[in-house]
Amino acid sequence: MANLTRVAGTTNPNVCQTRNPRNRSTQIPAAATKATGNTEVISVTIEKAGTSNVIQNPRGTGKRGPRPPKMLRAWLLLGFGGGLPWGQHNQSLISENDQLREEMTRLKLDLAWFYQHLAYQYYQPTAQALASQPSREILYSAQGQTNPVQRSELGNGQFYRRVGDRLVSYRKITVDRAGNGNFSAIQAAINSVPSGNKFWVSINVKAGTYREKLKIPYDKPYIILKGEGKRKTIVVWDDHDTVAQSPTFTSMADNVVVKCMSFRNSYNNPINSNPRQPAVAAMVAGDKTRFFRVGFFGLQDTLWDDQGRHYYKLCTIQGAVDFIFGAGQSLFERCSISVIGGALEAGLPGFITAQGRTNPNDANGFVFKECNVFGNGSTYLGRPWRAYSRVLFYRTNMSNIVQPKGWEPWNFVGQENQITFAEYGCYGDGSDTSERVKWTKKLDVATVEQMTSMSFIDSEGWLQTQIF
């Protein structure tokens, strides 16, 4: 890390001089900042090696901290994954040992996180001044680049970069079973994210079947899990002792995005001779969670949508009994609801939903918008897991596997008036409501519009601020 010294003869008191590792002298003037609304823009220009590197610090104060510790110089010596010339030799030495390589990757990632936090300490006036700023943007430009690169810090501390009009993660980690990434196991990559994380981290998972259980704990928000396709990147496990213990994938943290991969509990899926047991493929309990083109495969209790606001788009959920259950406040848009009722005992119908709303004032409920219900055997649309269960199917294509009665009261016979089970504008052979149970709700247009709009799960704009 370079030392900062005052430039002799300059009239700008905020211009400093630095010497880079090759002893080239560069000038670092403090910039005049510009404020737009609640956002302060601080320009950073980076030119080719050997020419000037200009860094403009917040508010033009010229304040800076002490010399960075030796840990940062160690990070430079490591070359951060071989990307720097002097790190390539070190990288080649450890490439033959997977375990050592993963340990070294963890060390480099930890040092990178430390460097990242430290950079903000050196170039901010005070912690109080930063706390008073709702948001901050730092713009980067480099000689020869067409699009500027921008890093943004929102008021709640989430960091991301902007390339042109795209938001991208601040850090990228690659998982590859073949050993050509940072890690060979997905959970190891999740473990490498520090507790109390505030920065969007993209964990890119290469194609393959990963036999492991995954858990994103409460204290690791802002994680993106991205595979290479629902049929290409698959996570499989077969626990079934208890509902709570069985999930192949558990997400407890807020602000999680999952894309283009599948989770399967293989105890009963694919169909086999094992006795039917609750066996969860995924359990989602964090707030502000989004799934895009994700597959969930099981038989009973496939997707445990436990609590929080969730958005599922173009996903596939497969099962037969209560295979979408929980007390989440969730919108399922253009999802495929695949019923495998043929795996049940002869003559036994299945149930798609078992929603768990416990109070008439609770905001949660399941909304299926423009989805497709299909499969084999027969199924009810749902039954109430709790007394105030709420489910709406909106403009959904229903095949003839749907039972004519549509819904079942389960343990709440005599309390059906508390339950909100509704259909609106559905079509297909199974959408005929003439034989539906009499206690289904006829929702007014205003309620239907409210429940099927994004405001049902997002009244504050969190979907717009997530990296997607």
Catalytic residues: 322
Q: Report the 3 state secondary structure along the chain.
A: CCCEEECCCCCCCCEEEEECCCCCEEEEECCCCEEECCEEEEEEEECCCCCCEEECCHHHCCCCCCCCCHHHHHHHHHHHHHCCHHHHHHHHHHCCCHHHHHHHHHHHHHHHHHHHHHHHHHCCCCHHHHHCCCEEEEEEEECCCCCCEEEEECCCCCEEEEECCEEECCEEEEECCCCCCCECCHHHHHHHCCCCCCECEEEEECCEEEECCEEECCCCCCEEEECCCCCCEEEEECCCCCCCCCCCEEECCCCEEEEEEEEEECCCCCCCCCCCCCCCCEEECCCCEEEEEEEEECCECCEEECCCEEEEECCEEEECEEEEEECCEEEEECCEEEEEHHHCCCCCCEEEEEECCCCCCCCCEEEEECCEEEEECCEEEECCCCCCCEEEEECCEECCCECCCCECCCCCCCCHHHCEEEEECCECCCCCCCCCCCCCCCCCHHHHHHHHCHHHCCCCCHHHHCCC
Distance of CA 27 to the CA centre of its chain: 40
Cα–Cα distances (Å) from 147 to 40, 141, 467, in that order, read: 20, 8, 19
Alpha-carbon span 303 to 344, nearest angstrom: 18
Phi, psi dihedral angles at 82 (to 5 degrees): 85, 0
- Which amino acid, one-letter code, is at 136? R
Which residues lie below 8 Å from residue 45, measured CB to CB, with a gap of 6+? Answer: 53, 54, 140, 141, 142
Cα–Cα distances (Å) from 38 to 123, 134, 167, 460, in that order, read: 19, 6, 19, 17
The candidate with the shortest Cα–Cα distance to 278, out of 325, 214, 209, is 325
Pull the structure tokens for residue 414. Answer: 């005599």
